[in-house]
Amino acid sequence: MFALVIGAGLFLAIIEMVRRRRLAEEYSFLWLVTGAGIIVLVLWYDLLEKLTRFIGAMTPTTTLFIFGFVFLMLINLHYSVKITELTKQVKDLAQKLAIYDKEK
């Protein structure tokens, strides 16, 4: 029940943030998938047990931790890619600005 509340809460909070434009749709995707994943696994406990057997874990908790960990890694990687892109854009902008300033 607790997990269901967390999952549903996360899902709704993200939709609300996208609605208020505090979170871009692009970033919401991974989070929404996580929220939905939690809800699905809570409602469909069989799937969680099957997954647990599939990955060779002893308890369903381990499965949840592993998926949680993988998710955090993915989202961090995604941020690193974004930061790289933003750094390049900031560099190009600063260079353009400096050259523009010089020519003014």
Which residues of this protein are in contact with another protein, per CB under 8 A? Answer: 88, 91, 94-95, 97-99, 101-103
The Cα-based distances of 25 to 14, 31, 42 in angstroms read 10, 10, 25
User: What phi, psi does 59 have (nearest 5°)?
Assistant: -125, 155
CB of 3 to another protein, least distance (A): 41
Q: Which is nearer to another protein, 61 or 89 (CB)?
A: 89
Q: Which is nearer to another protein, 25 or 101 (CB)?
A: 101
Q: Which is nearer to another protein, 54 or 100 (CB)?
A: 100
The Cα-based distances of 36 to 12, 14, 18 in angstroms read 10, 11, 16
d(CA 70, CA 77): 11
CB of 70 to another protein, least distance (A): 24
CB of 99 to another protein, least distance (A): 5
